[in-house]
Amino acid sequence: MKFYYSPTPALIGVLIVFVQPQNALAFSSTGSVKVAEAISPSCSAKIPTVLSTLEKICKQAENAEAEIDKNVLELQARLTNDKKARDELENLKNQLKKQLLEVINDEQKYQQALENSNLPQSQKDLLRKRTRWLVIRLLSRPGKPMKVEQVAAITGFSTDWVRKIARCYNVLGVEGIVDGHKNSPGGKQKALTPEQQKQLYERLQSPPDDGGLWSGPKVGELIKQQFGIRIHRTTAWRQLRRLGLTLQLPRPLHQKSATLEERVFFKAQLKFFVRLMRWLCPHKQVEVWAQDEARLGLKPVVRRTWALKGQRPVSDHYPRYKWLYTYGFVHPQTDNSCLFILPRVNTTVMQIALDAFTTQVNSRKDKLIILLVDQAGWHTTRHLNVPQDIIMYPIPPYTPQLNPTECIWPILRERLANKVFDNLDALETALIDRCQWLMNNPLTVKGEVGFSWLCSI
């Protein structure tokens, strides 16, 4: 039995084409309901009460609708401009509609009686959907099929749900009436077994067949092919989260950077060296600082920003290639920082920055500063006159992740984001304000440079 709906307002309703499929619900010309092979003969003797209740409900709905049609026709014949007649018609419609809704008001009692019966579980699942069978019955009444809106008002369903029930019945027959949610994994029950999750995790360690990157739809297709389980791409995304995976942007790593073992060895070696200096120089306070440089210029810095949905923000863009350099010194243990803005990077300028740093941090010469630096040429050259109370301690090459000063540059560039500066003087003014703010807010600096392995030395 197929249902077709007219999209035009003038033809709202349901066109019924009767086809008697196998294992389908059949209706006699008198409106009685018969079950053809949907209920086994062995169970037919056990369910006379259930079927009689269903037939009684259908007959009550037919009688109520016939009464509605009769009274509506009588009132419409008398109705011209009489307001009182209109009100009477509306009241009558509401009363009769209420009577129709009361026809299925005993659903809970019916369900309880069905649970207490001795019917097989499969038959209970079919008969439990009495309201859904009522939808099919009302839509397919011989001679006078009801409209979707009328069926929705009687059963309490929405019009969309009534249409969905009809479509499922057209495609699946009797099985389309049974609720399939119980067969789905659900939110708490996992779609994959622990063994399947283990196999999925091992497969995700290699690229997909197309050589690209894994995504929710690709994982869903993989689960369908490998395990025969069809899931939505949102569920596939949740499967990735259950495996402990998150979507992240990889950090760039130079091919010549230090390996994990080399980084661990560097940390242990630095810790030993600091302890040795504290033992050799007990009269001085030994501190570990880190130093690095950042190039900032008239080339605009583009960053993400908040904007109204559907309105993409636009920032001015006028790239020019003139630069200033910020020399940064940070102390992870005390949150102190020193920032200097200089015109270029070379040995001479590095000497200026180093002398200024020594004057500001160790003016009383009571500290021994171990300064972590990368292996740039102006850091390791013999022409650099390193102050007596500073020890330049190089970190492994191509390994900036060991230098905590690298973490303050994104905060510094934030002041320049999505802006265009006319010249280097305007840029310098903005940088000075930002550097002063960072030096006056040590907690912000510590949140970025406070590496636990450095603070514990």
Residue-wise pLDDT tens digits, 296-320: 999 999 999 999 988 999 988 899 9
Confidence category of residue 14, pLDDT binned at 50, 70, 90 = very low
- CATH number of this structure's domain 260-455: 3.30.420.10
For the segment 185-193, the average pLDDT, to the nearest whole number, is 61
Indicate if the pLDDT at residue 445 is higher than 50: yes
Q: In the structure encoding, which two tokens stand for residue 384, read together?
A: 């650099």
Euclidean distance between CA atoms 199 and 227, whole angstroms? 10
- Inter-residue contact 120 to 130 (CB < 8 Å): no
- pLDDT of 98 reads 65
Q: Check pLDDT > 70 for residue 5.
A: no
Average of per-residue pLDDT values in the chain: 79
Q: Is the pLDDT reported for residue 354 higher than 90? A: yes
Average pLDDT rounded to a whole number, residues 421-442: 94
Q: For residue 22, what are its two tokens?
A: 């196998």
pLDDT of 64 reads 73
Q: pLDDT of 262-297, one tens digit each?
A: 999 999 999 999 999 999 999 999 999 999 999 999
User: Model-level pTM?
Assistant: 0.56
Extents of the domains making up the chain: 2-180, 194-242, 260-455
- Token pair of 359, please? 């004057």
Decide if pLDDT at 443 tops 60.
yes
Asked if pLDDT for residue 44 goes beyond 50, the answer is no
Res 334: pLDDT: 87
Which position has the higher pLDDT, 90 or 113?
90
